[in-house]
Amino acid sequence: MGKTLIEKIIARNLHDENVKAGDIVTVDVDRVMIHDIFIPFVADKFKEMGFKKIWDTDKVVLIYDHLVPASQTDDTRHFRAGDAFAEEFGPIHVHRSDGICHQLMPELGYVKPGDVVFGTDSHTVTYGCVGAFSTGIGYTEMAGILGTGKLWIRVPQTIRVNINGKLPENVSAKDIILTVIGDLRADGATYQSLEFAGDTVDALSVAGRMTISNMTVEAGAKCGLFVPDDKTAAYCGLGGTLPEELAQLRPDEDAVYSRVMEYRAEDFVPVMACPSQVDSIRPVAELAPEEISVDQVFLGSCTNGRLEDLRSAASVLKDRHIAPFVKMIVTPASRSIYEAAAKEGILDILSEAGAMITHPSCGLCCGRAGGILTDDEVVVATNNRNFLGRMGTSKVRIYLASPLTAAVCALEGKITVPAAYKE
Amino acid sequence: MEQFSGKIWVLGDDIDTDIIMPTEYLALKTIDDMRPYAFSPLRPELAGRICPGDIIVAGKNFGCGSSREQAPEVIKALGIRCVIASSYARIFFRNAINNGLLLIENSEIQKAVKEGDEIEVHVGEYILHDGVKYPVSSLPQNLLDILDAGGLVKAMQRLNGIV
């Protein structure tokens, strides 16, 4: 019987060809990521468990991003706890102000195709974009991995998502994943792996695949995987073509799926996740006649804070100005994206259009940085969650959208279909 | 098998971790500091009214959202004896087991109960409400081992020979 991609990855990790969905197995961990919010708890649990050393210090990456720079008086306690832990049990990799964890892990080469990676954050599923099995866990389990290098998992079943054809010009990876989540619903892929395939997916950049993998957890998925290809190899610094050994990381023709979903790329339209559920998906064209006024636009996060996202917003904001009452906040996902966007002139375009550019970090996505809102205000945001209270009071209305849609909404000051600005 | 009874609080589907414990309070020092804010975006009065031994009955996908372990921890700190839901999000499920919070899966009882009802829980066997028994299944052995040890910290302490 054929194997799915997740079965292939786990079989490779265990050196056991007999692995199949439903098995409970203990994997060897290739890399872990811990962020600033949870490091004090990980450190406490690690010591409480009685461990004296980390199983493999080179495999541990600590990233400060949610609380950077500190916005509340007690936040720096997290940085001190992290630095103390690194000092006592390191040397581990520490990034103190380089950007969002889920951007940095693939960008800096900490994750390679076929790796098994865990992080103390639900959006750890992002690294499925390069064909790695990665998922979120709590800080107690992280402490256990730091001591043992191992974790038990149940090998998930797989939902296959086939997408073929050419996407309309005003549709991006964000619209794809929002649409899929709307069809699956918020628990439709719980405990399962999502495997994306088809020529539309092949044509996506690694950045676009990242957007899709990132949000698979919003349908409850354990991971969201793409078959590694030459683009993946180039992105991961493995040369121009995928090394022979990694070419085995593809599902078999006769792999068994719990469900197969088929999409025609031409059928996708710009969509939004409406307040306050990520699976409450509606076409922007259906919302536009409601004349929904927009108070703020947020462009950033591990979902959509990459260079092509900023570029996409700049394409409609060039030589134009956002509506006078709209605050637009742009937060590049990493320092290198910030620098590349500056070099390309994108930051100038966005600033001249009236946007505020902030330091690379999680920023407004987790409701901890500048830009939080109050009752009845509307924000169009490119991040991954629109839960109650995520960006201020529980009566803030958060609409999730693609960077292109978000930029057009900023220009018009109301929810607007991006097609109007297609060049 | 273990059994207990308690008063129930009824919540809906997709109760996410931002509702259970909003991000703005995650950097507070202790779970006790966070306790008054549990469920505040949805029901600000709830944390103050839950009594030790109470039970939460919820719909599908309970605990969806982030990996924050403060979510099951704060529910435990409120004194909730167990959560009964139609289904759970996977990270929340693991975190709850690792912290010794009992989770029960049942998707029938939601239709019959109302807030404030008393129910009787027979762990691994059934839930009794208004004379009707709702069957529940047992957990896999590797999870029972962690629960038996008293959570993952104690299981690891056992591994390191310090208990």
- B13: domain CATH number? 3.20.19.10
The string of DSSP codes covering B19-30 is HHS-GGGTTSSS
For chain B, what is the domain count?
1
Chain B contact for A164, CB < 8 A? no
Rounded distance, CA B161 to CA B163, Å? 6
What is the reported pLDDT for B147? Answer: 78
Q: Determine the residue of chain A that is closest to B90 in CA distance.
A: A191
Q: Which two tokens stand for residue A127?
A: 């690294």
Average pLDDT over residues B98-107: 92
Q: At what angle do helices A76-89 and A39-48 cross, to 10 degrees?
A: 40
pLDDT for the residue A423: 42
Backbone angles phi, psi at A307, to 5 degrees: -55, -45
Q: Which of A140, A385, A397 is best to mutate for the B interface (most B CBs within 10 A)?
A: A140
Q: Residue A371's pLDDT is what?
A: 92
- Number of A–B residue contacts, CB under 8 Å: 129
Residue ranges of the domains in chain A? 5-265, 273-421
Q: What are A45's two structure tokens?
A: 């649990």
For A193, name the nearest residue in chain B, comparing CA atoms only: B90
State the smallest CA–CA distance between residue A414 and chain B in angstroms: 26
Q: Answer whether A78 touches B (CB < 8 Å).
A: yes
Report pLDDT digits (tens) over B4-44: 999 999 999 999 999 999 988 988 889 999 999 999 999 99
The nearest alpha carbon in chain B to A187 belongs to B61
Q: Do B99 and A389 touch (CB under 8 A)?
A: no
A291 CB neighbour count, 10 Å cutoff: 9
**A22 and chain B in contact, CB less than 8 A:** no
Counting other chains too, the contacts that A21-24 makes at CB distance below 8 Å and 24 or more residues apart are A21/A155, A21/A156, A21/A157, A21/A158, A21/A256, A22/A154, A22/A155, A22/A157, A23/A154, A23/A155, A24/A152, A24/A153, A24/A154, A24/A155, A24/B140, A24/B142
Residue A422's pLDDT is: 45
Please tell us whether the domain made up of A273-421 is placed in CATH 3.30.499.10: yes
| A394/B152 Cβ within 8 A | no
State the Cα–Cα distance between residues A247 and A244, nearest whole angstrom: 5
Inter-chain touch B22–A367, beta carbons under 8 Å: yes
Instruction: Specify the pLDDT at position B1.
Output: 67
Q: pLDDT tens track of chain A, all 423 residues?
A: 899 999 999 999 999 999 999 898 999 999 999 999 999 999 999 999 999 999 999 999 999 999 999 988 889 999 999 999 999 999 999 999 999 999 999 999 999 999 999 999 999 999 999 999 999 999 999 999 999 999 999 999 999 999 999 999 999 999 999 999 999 999 999 999 999 999 999 999 999 999 999 999 999 999 999 999 999 999 999 998 999 999 999 999 999 999 999 999 999 999 999 999 999 999 999 999 999 999 999 999 999 999 999 999 999 999 999 999 999 999 999 999 999 999 999 999 999 999 999 999 999 998 888 899 999 999 999 999 999 888 999 999 999 999 999 999 999 999 999 984 444
> B-contacting residues of A 344-383, CB under 8 Å?
366-368
Q: Are strands B132-135 and B126-129 parallel, antiparallel or unpaired?
A: antiparallel
Tokens, residue A264: 């025609």
Q: Report the pLDDT value the prediction gives residue B161, as an integer from 0 to 100.
A: 92
The verdict on a CB contact (< 8 Å) between A187 and B89 is yes
What pTM value is reported for the model? 0.93
Spatial separation of the C-alpha atoms in residues A247 and A228, rounded to whole Å = 8
Residue A1: its pLDDT value, please?
Answer: 82
Show which of residues 255-274 on chain A sit within 8 Å of chain B, judged by CB atoms: none
Q: Minimal Cα–Cα distance from B130 to chain A, Å?
A: 30
Question: Is B29 in contact with A74 (Cβ distance < 8 A)?
Answer: yes
- Tell me how many degrees the CA angle A278-A113-B90 measures, rounded to the nearest 5: 35
Q: In whole angstroms, what is the distance from residue A48 CA to residue B67 CA?
A: 21
Point out the residue among B61, B98, B157 whose CB comes nearest to the CB of A138: B98
Q: Domain of residue B62: give its range.
A: 3-159
Q: Which residues of A touch B22 (CB under 8 A)?
A: 367, 389
Determine which of B90, B101, B145, B153 to mutate to test the interface with A (most A C-beta atoms within 10 Å). Answer: B90
Closest listed residue to residue A305, CA positions, set A101, A56, A143: A101
Thinking of the domain A5-265, which architecture would CATH place it in? 2-Layer Sandwich (3.30)
Contacts of A152 (CB under 8 A, 6+ apart): A24, A25, A26, A27, B142
CB contact under 8 A, A187 and B61: yes
